Structure 1
Amino acid sequence: MLTVLMATGTLVAVLGVLAGKLMLWRFPVPKKHPETSRPSLSVIIPARNEAHRIGPLLESLMDQLYPDMEVIVVDDDSSDRTAEIARIAGARVLRSASAPDGTAGKSAACWMGAAAANGELFLFLDADTRLQAQDSLDKLVSEYGARGGNGLLSVQPYHTVMRPYENLSAVFNLIVMAGMNTFTPARWNLPPAGAFGGCILCSRADYIGTGGHHAIRGELMDDLALGAAFRDSGLPVYCLGGRNVISLRMYPDGIRSLVEGWTKSMASGVSSTHPAVTALVSLWIAGAFMPAATLAAAAWNGMAGWITAGAALYLLYGLEVFRLIRKAGNFRFTTVLLYPFHFLFFTAVFIWSLYAVRIRKRVTWRGRQVDL
């Protein structure tokens, strides 16, 4: 009986490796296309208490070679030096204060910035992102133009890890990317679930025509909602990876902010993911636990052959996980040895997210209690 269980676990692990390959089959990134034009561009940055994070982004924007751009920082009721730092860096600063009607927050800040912008194109960037090269804006706009110059182009920034606990975001990053449905084999032609919130590019006309962030005010996951609004208006939505173009450092304030951030987003995105991708993600997660379970059971019962097979399978799964996460961020090689712990941590946060979003209907983010 034990042998049958370990054989079944091995099969699930092998299928999990295959599922991981399919759910993240390709990682397209923005590229230059010489034949495309470079319209005027407004970069809009909503920022709340980002004094310790916004500097690198503003510096990278000042280094851009893009010919016609403006930078607008919308200070979302910050209590630190966010606005002052933005002004010193040369950005135009607007103040978005809390309002009793619930319109404060990121969506309200983005809408305010768009209303004041002058560009033909709008680029919304999170304050903790950073452009990786002097031609990053050029690549983003060029890719948008090459895809027709309409709809919405969103990019998942490449995750920069600096402290050990930040590696705990590895599995979350991959599942967020997989959940967009668009990194599967191209022939599947699955509809995008939404957009990545850290980097969103669209035209002024399309943004105003869909109602932009004003139309999705009150939504917890503004990125998913905005992508859905464009899609429902018949406009295309493109999701790409950001390696060598744009990066971010997520949750540098400690593990508590990491848990709060992923609690806010995980359960909310499940319903937008295509059932086929959900099945692949579930199989990938289940498969991740099987090698360790097989190895432990074999060692406990002194089954030498299964110990060797379990160790080989453990290493295979770990290397495959590492291959994928390095496409999403500079995560450490230690994840190969500790990957079951990363999946366990993800599972625990996901269950807590389901409780907070679906039952308690309240999450905490950036010092605000958000009622759902």
Structure 2
Amino acid sequence: MLFIIILLSLISVISGFLMLWKVPLAIKSAGKVSVKKTVSIIIPARNEENRLSVLLASLNNQSYKPVEVIVVDDESSDRTIVVAQQQGAKIIRKQKSDDWTGKSAACWKGAKEAKGDWLLFLDADTFFENRTSLEQLLATYQSVDAIGILSFQPFHKITKLYENLSAVFNIILMAGMNVFTPLGTQVKTAGSFGPCILCDKEEYFIVGGHKAIKGAIMDDLALGEKFMENNFLVRCYGGRGLIQFQMYPEGIKQLVEGWTKSFGTAAQSTHPIVTGLISLWISGAFFTIGSLIVALLSNDASLVILTSLFCVTYAVQFYWLACRFGQFSLLILFGYPLFFLFFIGLFIWSLFLTKVLHRVTWSGRKLEV
């Protein structure tokens, strides 16, 4: 039994390191690469008055000025348009009569109006961390020959206690993109990160843009797939030190809806090798705590010490991985089994909605999947 405990615990911890072996970040000094192109920033927005102002303020403070900032209002019922106007953004309104709704439709409408050489799609809940963030982002794209998609997953800013429930989801989301293992780009990426996507405008229209994926629930994965089908590269980077977002600040209901929409659909895009690593790592959360419970019941002091050591090791790794992608609380370090139970329960619910009912809810709309 001792050998099995050691072996399985080691496998789960090693799997955690392998699935997120290396996550590239934006270049730190934008001055190393000259940005030779202009950029249009496109922000799809639906009832985003509370978050949009933060993003627009950060854009207005950038050292590099875009050609334009376009806010595409997606039938908002709040002050989204007013906030955008106050910050000097160009407003495009989607109409209820349009036969195509949602984020992809808003992105497409904005792209058709854009004047820049490059298109930067930003979710309304994102914001740049410092004054040179936009320049760093564009310079990073220029440094990789400005081909295909460069996408960043923003660093998760935590302001409310319940938001820590996203810890496991953030880790699995990053790992599920396939490209952060020691195999790197030898494994095909699952797509792109939706909150921050930069691409060349000409290439965007060559692949058909968001119009070519109008039926997709996970538009970020689908857009990346469309670029790859046309032999354009898709690169995925971590946003730490560059761009942040606050996920689902309106409450736990929004958090549940958001992750439910994402995970049941996205899971099928993860490579089998990466899926295996993720599964082994997740199983470690339950194996380590289960082994400790068995050891306590057996009254074997040496076994209790050993299993306690593995629980601490796993918890520290979980916290370290989470903090690579967000400002998570120490709470997740001490209560990690509960966070994994929440993840498993919500993942099963997501599969039920997407694979059985074929329907999810997001932003007040019923979406068929």
Q: TM-score range by the shorter chain?
A: over 0.9
3-state SS of 1:53 partner: helix
Q: Which of 25, 29, 32 is matched with 1:29 structurally? A: 25
Write the deviation string for residues 316-367 of structure 1: whole angstroms up to 9, x where unpaired.
0011111111110011112111111111110000000000001100000011
What is the distance in 2 between the residues matched to 1:28 and 1:13?
Answer: 28
Q: Which of 294, 304, 308 is matched with 1:307 structurally? A: 304
3-state SS of 2:254 partner: helix
Partner of residue 15, structure 2: 19
**Structure 1 position 237 matched with structure 2 position 234:** yes
What is the distance in 2 between the residues matched to 1:113 and 1:214?
Answer: 12
Greater than 3 Å deviation, 4+ residue runs: 98-101
- 8 Å Cα contact 2:151-2:196 kept in structure 1: yes
Q: How does 1:78-93 map to 2 (within 5 A)?
A: 78-93=76-91
Q: 1:14 to 1:99 in 2, by over 3 A?
A: farther
3-state SS of 2:32 partner: coil
Q: 1:313 to 1:214 in 2, by over 3 A?
A: same
Q: Which of 84, 87, 95 is matched with 1:97 structurally? A: 95
- 8 Å Cα contact 2:210-2:219 kept in structure 1: yes
Q: Which of 118, 123, 127 is matched with 2:120 structurally? A: 123
What is the distance in 2 between the residues matched to 1:271 and 1:370?
Answer: 18
Q: 1:124 to 1:343 in 2, by over 3 A?
A: same
Partner of residue 63, structure 2: 65
Q: How does 1:193-204 map to 2 (within 5 A)?
A: 193-204=190-201
- 8 Å Cα contact 1:125-1:199 kept in structure 2: yes
What is the distance in 1 between the residues matched to 2:251 and 2:184?
Answer: 41
The one-letter code matched in structure 1 to 2:91 is V
- 8 Å Cα contact 2:42-2:119 kept in structure 1: yes
Q: Which of 349, 357, 362 is matched with 2:359 structurally? A: 362
Cα offset for 1:193? 0.7
**Which is further off, 300-309 or 126-135?**
300-309
What is the distance in 2 between the residues matched to 1:85 and 1:160?
Answer: 22
What is the distance in 2 between the residues matched to 1:227 and 1:35?
Answer: 25
**Structure 1 position 345 matched with structure 2 position 345:** no
Structure 1: where are the runs of 5+ without partners?
none
What is the distance in 2 between the residues matched to 1:48 and 1:223?
Answer: 17
CA-based RMSD: 1.3
What is the distance in 1 between the residues matched to 2:144 and 2:11?
Answer: 35
Write the deviation string for residues 236-289 of structure 1: whole angstroms up to 9, x where unpaired.
000000001000000001111101000000011111111100000000000111
Q: 1:108 to 1:313 in 2, by over 3 A?
A: same
3-state SS of 1:215 partner: helix
Cα offset for 1:99? 4.2
- 8 Å Cα contact 2:67-2:115 kept in structure 1: no
Q: 1:100 to 1:142 in 2, by over 3 A?
A: closer
Partner of residue 290, structure 1: 287
Partner of residue 321, structure 2: 324
The one-letter code matched in structure 2 to 1:122 is L
**Structure 1 position 221 matched with structure 2 position 218:** yes
What is the distance in 2 between the residues matched to 1:114 and 1:325?
Answer: 34
- 8 Å Cα contact 1:25-1:184 kept in structure 2: yes
- 8 Å Cα contact 1:10-1:291 kept in structure 2: no
Cα offset for 1:186? 4.7
TM-score of the superposition, structure 2-length normalised?
A: 0.97
What is the distance in 2 between the residues matched to 1:20 and 1:139?
Answer: 29
Write the deviation string for residues 120-152 of structure 1: whole angstroms up to 9, x where unpaired.
000000000010011111111111111111100
TM-score of the superposition, structure 1-length normalised?
A: 0.96
- 8 Å Cα contact 1:44-1:124 kept in structure 2: yes
The one-letter code matched in structure 2 to 1:11 is L
